[in-house]
Amino acid sequence: MTTYHVTRGTHWSVGRTSLTVSDGQGGVWTFVHPEAALWDLLSRGTRFDAAVELMRHIASMSADESSAFVGAAIEAWHDAGLLEQR
Partner 1 sequence: MANLSLTATCNRSCSFCFAAESMETHQGATFMPLEVVESAFDLLTRSQVAEARLLGGEPTVHPEFTTIVDRALARGFRILVFSGGLIPPKALHRLEAIPEEQLAVLINVIAPGTGKPSEEARQREVFERLGRRVVLGVTIESPGDDLCFLIDLIERFDLARTVRLGLGHPILGAGNTHLHPRHYPEVGARTTEFGLIARARGIALSFDCGWVPCMFPAEAMATLGLTEHEVGLRCSPILDLLPDGSYVSCYPLAARAREALVDHATLASVRDAFLDKQRADRPFMLYKECGPCHWRAEGKCTGGCLSASLQRTRHRDFAVEVPHGG
63-82 residues near partner 1, rule: CB under 8 A = 67, 70-71, 74
Residue 78, H or E segment: helix 63-80
Q: Pick from 5, 33, 60, 63: which binds partner 1 (CB under 8 A)? A: 5
Q: State the nearest-atom distance from the C-beta of 55 to partner 1, in Å.
A: 13
Neighbours of 80 (CB within 10 A): 14
Q: Which is nearer to partner 1, 60 or 75 (CB)?
A: 75
Instruction: Report the alpha-carbon distance of residue 59 to residue 11 in Å, rounded.
Output: 24
Instruction: Report the alpha-carbon distance of residue 5 to residue 27 in Å, rounded.
Output: 18
Q: Provide the binding-site residues for partner 1, judged by CB under 8 A.
A: 1-6, 9-18, 20, 22, 24-28, 30, 42-48, 51, 67, 70-71, 74, 83
